[in-house]
């Protein structure tokens, strides 16, 4: 029975060594490197602390392991793998202070998607910031017109990021621009449409009621009155803008018979 157990242990170590082939240790982000290794552990069914520990010792370059030589030469009785992992992350990873400084000072949108920026900021924050603070920091990195649209919504920051991606897909261009382009054009188009409707309605009312509020029948074309009325503009053939603003109007809509009055000398 003990011999069987020994054979099982040897087989487990051999399988672990064959199954786990991590990439070269990545100094810029050891957390990500350990995440890759742990994915291989899961895929290979490796769960024991000792097997994980010796898999790392067997595969990582000795120049890296030199920073944890005390742990390797005299490993703790329990929690061997996590002890080694934390040492290597402390030695090669960014400090919490440096990560937060990068989050607040140098993390920008540039040519990336808002969802990509959010993922990086969450990684740098590492659950050390309140979600609302992180959301506020992220939104400040977006173009102004995207901020204005998102400010009218009430959703989680993850949903905001997806919507920000969609907005920038619809209105591409300089992501660093602070000029509201697409949203402004839509707003102006809506205002022009409303003015057109108001003008048309006023024109119909003027044509129906006539100047002075009395019902008027149009004079016959053959009478002198008709020829006289055609020689000077009336309310019915002056556009809404000139009716409302007089000579200050600057958006005259044809047909319009308005004549600017001559200034007196």
pLDDT of residue 196: 59
The residue assigned the tokens 């409302």 is 244
Closest CA to 163 of 180, 145, 179: 145
Residues of the chain with pLDDT under 50: 1-12, 174-185, 187-189, 191-192, 195, 211-233, 265
Angle at 104 between CA 100 and CA 109, to 5 degrees: 120
Structure letter (DSSP) for residue 66: G
In whole angstroms, what is the distance from residue 97 CA to residue 130 CA? 16
Where exactly are the structural domains of the chain?
Answer: 2-92, 96-170, 182-248
pLDDT of residue 216: 47
pLDDT of residue 70: 96
> What sign for the dihedral angle of Cα 90, 93, 97, 99?
negative
- Structure confidence by residue, pLDDT tens digits, 142-163: 998 888 888 888 888 999 999 9
pLDDT of residue 69: 95
CA distances from 84 to 25, 172, 264 (A): 14, 47, 94
254 Cβ neighbours under 8 A, 6+ residues apart? 239
pTM over 0.85: no
Q: CB of 121 within 8 A of CB of 137?
A: yes
CA distances from 214 to 49, 223, 224 (A): 97, 21, 21
């Amino acid at each position: 029975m003990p011999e069987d157990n020994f054979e099982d242990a040897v087989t487990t170590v051999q399988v672990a060594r064959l199954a786990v082939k991590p990439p070269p240790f990545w100094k810029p982000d050891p957390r990500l490197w350990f995440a890759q290794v742990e994915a291989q552990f899961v895929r290979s069914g490796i769960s024991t602390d000792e097997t994980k520990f010796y898999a790392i010792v067997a595969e990582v370059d000795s120049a890296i392991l030199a920073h944890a030589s005390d742990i390797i030469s005299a490993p703790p009785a329990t929690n061997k793998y996590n002890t080694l992992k934390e040492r290597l992350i402390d030695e090669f990873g960014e400090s919490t202070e440096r990560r937060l400084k990068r989050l607040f000072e140098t993390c920008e949108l540039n040519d990336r998607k808002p969802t990509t920026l959010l993922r990086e900021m969450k990684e740098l924050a590492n659950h050390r910031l309140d979600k609302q603070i992180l959301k506020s920091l992220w939104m400040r990195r977006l173009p102004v017109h995207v901020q204005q649209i998102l400010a009218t919504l009430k959703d989680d920051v993850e949903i905001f990021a997806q919507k920000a991606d969609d907005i920038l897909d619809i209105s591409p261009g300089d992501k660093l621009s602070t000029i509201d382009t697409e949203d402004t054009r839509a707003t102006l188009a809506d205002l022009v449409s409303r003015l057109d409707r108001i003008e048309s309605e006023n024109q119909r009312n003027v044509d129906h009621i006539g100047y002075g509020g009395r019902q008027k029948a149009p004079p016959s074309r053959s009478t002198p009155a008709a020829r006289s009325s055609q020689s000077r503009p009336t309310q019915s053939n002056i556009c809404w803008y000139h009716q409302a603003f007089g000579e200050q109007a600057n958006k005259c809509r044809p047909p319009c018979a308005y004549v600017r009055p001559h200034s007196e000398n």
